[in-house]
Chains A and B, each alone.
Chain A
Amino acid sequence: MYRYDAIDKEFLTDRSNEFRHQVGRRLAGELSEDQFKPLRLMNGLYLQLHAYMLRVCIPYGTLNVAQVRRLAWIARTYDKGYGHFTTRQNIQFHWIKLRDAPDILDALAEVNLHAIQTSGNCIRNTTSDPRAGATAEEIDDPRVWSEAIRQWSTLHPEFSYLPRKFKIAVTASAKDRTAARVHDIGLALRRGRDGTLGFEVMVGGGMGRTPFIGQTIKEFLPATRLLSYLEAVLRVYNRAGRRDNIYKARIKILVSSLGAEEFGRQVEEEWAQIDAARADLPDTELARIRAAFIQPGLEVLPPVSDSYEAARAANPALARFARNNVSAHKAPGYAIVDVSLKAHDATPGDANSDQLEAIADLAERFSLGDIRVTHEQNLVLPHVKQSDLPALFEGLVAVGLATPNINLVSDIIACPGLDYCALANARAIPVAQSIAQRFLDADRAELVGELKIKISGCINACGHHHVGHIGILGVDKKGEEYYQLTLGGSGAEDASIGKILGPGLNADQVAPAVDRLVEVYLAERQGEERFLDTYRRIGMTPFKEAVYVDAH
């Protein structure tokens, strides 16, 4: 795992001291709210419905044991004992006091965490694959490149006041676990025919009120030229992106109005002007970053653990967990474990302090101290010996974190919605819970298989509803909460934007409607088809008829 050096540490301490001073001046009345608000937002502090909310950056979703313990401590000391993991692999605390914020930033800085660039019109945290460094599927370790982007984009003077926020994803496997095609820039690692490393560069993806799938503007960018090329993309956007209308300011609007080809041409033109020697990462620096991600401690093990096989055969609960939450590791005898934060009565993405501490302990014992956050609001323990899986499973069961539902119908993404968010139209959390409750039967959920339900409380789409196999958007219909369903979205390598099913439903109708959609799928599916595949084959009509049957 990457270790911050003395310069990084000093920078974080300085930043937190600066914010302490700013908060002091605000509380003393020396700064007005209008003057102070941009300063607090630069430190990830929003005012929500019930309190301030602090968004803490988790670089490309990677945490160590000390950091998770510190997050647990912050949740217990300054919040109501829990935190909320987001679709951007970050964590939010929902009950923060402004007075406490400087102390919290200090506590974060001690473990190399911060809230910088978690808000505002700058380059945000880079999304990456939570299985980085553990999966055999990857072409290269995407953390290396994500870390390079982190260093390059942190406090980048030219790109601190962009027309709008900017989000980059780096994926390295054929299976995209980063939603790269709905990011402002999606980078997919590729090997060229000559074996060299490069990126497919996709731009202009995004969600919000005008969703777009990113378009490829460069099939193969030599990896060593990454930073200069990003600089060129950002520079074209910074110059030509609209600043007159907040709804048209994202790069996706620029790319769609120019056309991807013309946008790509302008980037090439800009790129040709940039001095590569200045802009690109020196090989020595790249080598230094790469060395930091070489995983120490992996043992040479037989590919199959007999004790694990025996335990799985003897314990049906472990077997179910293994089917849904355990996947292959690149090293023989190891496994990658997904930890679901989607128990049926839980708030999607929430973890309480006891659970966070348990995860830290379990990661220390069983996962080489490495913890990842997924954009689907779950956690991953990436390096677990198969022979440790039974003990890990028991440890997870003890704190309610062994829900065997990864990628299943109850593994739902939900934004905080109207229960917390000042921008919301409707609640998202109770809708997710009502669906999870309806699909409590684990055998049926496994029979249904992969089904990605994603819920946002408003059109900003923080809950990724546009790319849900079933998307659910909360709307306000004359003061009442209503929900608009979409079908056929995907945030993965087969990305697409969902299409509206029909008229909005009230909160009580959503879970029954999902049930009917699932019944149509089960009746119609062929072979190994997922819900999404069946929808793509048979189209909207059968689903629509099933949900609106009463309306005839």
Chain B
Amino acid sequence: MSAEFLKALTANRLGEGDVVFWSSGQWVEQFADAELFTEEAPAEAAVALAKAQNRTVVDAYLIDVTRSEQGVAPVSYRERLRALGPTNELGHGKQALGGAAIAALQAASGAARSTGRLDLIRRK
């Protein structure tokens, strides 16, 4: 178990349903642009702010993030799929943007599938 506190804040936009991430008071579309919290207090403060935005987003919550050689990625498979889009339609969702950050997230997903790392935590 990694001892490092590393989290991001995510939600879905109310009017559209799109997945969004918190970045210094703004909601951004891409996980790569998400603010990473390394301490609990500011993370919880951001959650409180997000929950107050009843007209902007729904279902705001913190997700666990991990660092590896490929970069940072959500720990759980579910959250990586939210950050990317469905794997049966690679042109749909955020992954359609392409580029290095998306490729890194996709690589992290691939790794989880084939290596069977056992310390992954699920949020549900």
Q: Name A's B-contacting residues (CB within 8 A).
A: 26-29, 32-33, 47-52, 80, 95-99, 347, 418-420, 423-424, 427, 429-430, 433, 476, 478-481, 506-508
In the bound complex, residues from chain B placing their C-beta under 8 Å from that of A479 are 75-77, 112, 117-122
Additional pairs, 5, CB under 8 Å, beyond known A419-B88, A476-B122: A50-B17, A50-B19, A433-B88, A480-B77, A481-B77
A51 to B124, CA, bound (A): 17
* CB pair A480 B89 closer than 8 Å: no
Given the known interface contacts A33-B58, A478-B120, the answer about A49 and B78 at a Cβ–Cβ threshold of 8 Å is: yes
* CB pair A51 B18 closer than 8 Å: yes
* CB pair B117 A49 closer than 8 Å: no
Q: Residue B92 at the A interface, CB < 8 A?
A: yes
* CB pair A50 B77 closer than 8 Å: no
A-B contacts, 7 of them at CB < 8 A, read A50-B82, A51-B18, A98-B16, A99-B16, A419-B88, A478-B118, A479-B117
Q: Chain A: interface secondary structure?
A: mixed
Interface 1/0s, chain B 94-124, versus A by CB < 8 A? 0000000000000000001110111111101
Task: Rank and list the top 7 A-B pairs by shortest CB-CB distance, nearest first.
Answer: A479-B120, A419-B86, A51-B17, A29-B55, A52-B17, A429-B88, A97-B16
* CB pair A51 B16 closer than 8 Å: yes
Choice from B15, B87, B92, B122 contacting A98 with Cβ under 8 Å: B15
In the bound complex, residues from chain A placing their C-beta under 8 Å from that of B118 are 478-480
For B, the interface residue count at a CB cutoff of 8 angstroms equals: 35
* CB pair A27 B15 closer than 8 Å: yes
CB distance from A423 to the nearest CB of B (A): 8
CB distance from B116 to the nearest CB of A (A): 6
Q: Residue B14 at the A interface, CB < 8 A?
A: yes
* CB pair B113 A506 closer than 8 Å: yes
A49 to B18, CA, bound (A): 9
Choice from A26, A418, A480, A506 contacting B81 with Cβ under 8 Å: A418
* CB pair B92 A80 closer than 8 Å: yes
Given the known interface contacts A478-B120, A480-B120, the answer about A47 and B12 at a Cβ–Cβ threshold of 8 Å is: yes
A552 to B19, CA, bound (A): 45
User: CB-nearest residue of chain A relative to B93?
Assistant: A50
Given the known interface contacts A47-B59, A481-B77, the answer about A95 and B92 at a Cβ–Cβ threshold of 8 Å is: yes
Q: Residue B54 at the A interface, CB < 8 A?
A: yes
In the bound complex, residues from chain A placing their C-beta under 8 Å from that of B77 are 418, 479-481
In the bound complex, residues from chain B placing their C-beta under 8 Å from that of A423 are 124
Choice from B17, B55, B117 contacting A27 with Cβ under 8 Å: B55
User: CB-nearest residue of chain A relative to B114?
Assistant: A508
Interface 1/0s, chain B 3-17, versus A by CB < 8 A? 000000000101111
Q: Which of B64-80 contact A (CB under 8 A)?
A: 75-78
A506 to B117, CA, bound (A): 12
CB distance from A333 to the nearest CB of B (A): 40
CB distance from A357 to the nearest CB of B (A): 20
In the bound complex, residues from chain A placing their C-beta under 8 Å from that of B86 are 50, 419-420, 429
Choice from B55, B59, B119 contacting A28 with Cβ under 8 Å: B55
CB distance from B84 to the nearest CB of A (A): 9
User: CB-nearest residue of chain A relative to B55?
Assistant: A29
In the bound complex, residues from chain B placing their C-beta under 8 Å from that of A97 are 15-17
In the bound complex, residues from chain B placing their C-beta under 8 Å from that of A418 are 77-78, 81
A52 to B12, CA, bound (A): 9
User: CB-nearest residue of chain A relative to B121?
Assistant: A479
In the bound complex, residues from chain B placing their C-beta under 8 Å from that of A32 are 54
CB distance from B40 to the nearest CB of A (A): 22
CB distance from B18 to the nearest CB of A (A): 7
* CB pair B87 A427 closer than 8 Å: yes
CB distance from B30 to the nearest CB of A (A): 14
A49 to B116, CA, bound (A): 23
In the bound complex, residues from chain A placing their C-beta under 8 Å from that of B122 are 476, 479
User: CB-nearest residue of chain B relative to A507?
Assistant: B113
A47 to B116, CA, bound (A): 30
* CB pair A49 B114 closer than 8 Å: no
Q: Which of B38-53 contact A (CB under 8 A)?
A: none
User: CB-nearest residue of chain A relative to B19?
Assistant: A50
In the bound complex, residues from chain A placing their C-beta under 8 Å from that of B76 are 479
* CB pair A26 B88 closer than 8 Å: no
CB distance from A303 to the nearest CB of B (A): 43
A28 to B55, CA, bound (A): 7
In the bound complex, residues from chain B placing their C-beta under 8 Å from that of A51 are 12, 16-18
User: CB-nearest residue of chain B relative to A432?
Assistant: B88
In the bound complex, residues from chain B placing their C-beta under 8 Å from that of A478 are 118-120
A97 to B17, CA, bound (A): 6
* CB pair A430 B59 closer than 8 Å: no
CB distance from B102 to the nearest CB of A (A): 15
* CB pair A96 B17 closer than 8 Å: yes
In the bound complex, residues from chain B placing their C-beta under 8 Å from that of A52 are 17
CB distance from B50 to the nearest CB of A (A): 12
CB distance from B48 to the nearest CB of A (A): 16
A148 to B85, CA, bound (A): 41
A433 to B89, CA, bound (A): 12
In the bound complex, residues from chain B placing their C-beta under 8 Å from that of A481 are 77, 113
In the bound complex, residues from chain B placing their C-beta under 8 Å from that of A50 are 17-19, 82, 85-86, 92-93
In the bound complex, residues from chain A placing their C-beta under 8 Å from that of B16 are 51, 97-99
In the bound complex, residues from chain A placing their C-beta under 8 Å from that of B17 are 47-48, 50-52, 96-98
* CB pair B87 A47 closer than 8 Å: no
Choice from A48, A347, A424 contacting B88 with Cβ under 8 Å: A347
In the bound complex, residues from chain B placing their C-beta under 8 Å from that of A48 are 17
In the bound complex, residues from chain A placing their C-beta under 8 Å from that of B124 are 423
A508 to B110, CA, bound (A): 12
A536 to B39, CA, bound (A): 58
A32 to B51, CA, bound (A): 11
CB distance from A507 to the nearest CB of B (A): 6
User: CB-nearest residue of chain B relative to A428?
Assistant: B88
Choice from B58, B81, B119, B121 contacting A47 with Cβ under 8 Å: B58
CB distance from A79 to the nearest CB of B (A): 10
A504 to B87, CA, bound (A): 22
User: CB-nearest residue of chain A relative to B85?
Assistant: A50
Given the known interface contacts A98-B16, A479-B120, the answer about A80 and B78 at a Cβ–Cβ threshold of 8 Å is: no
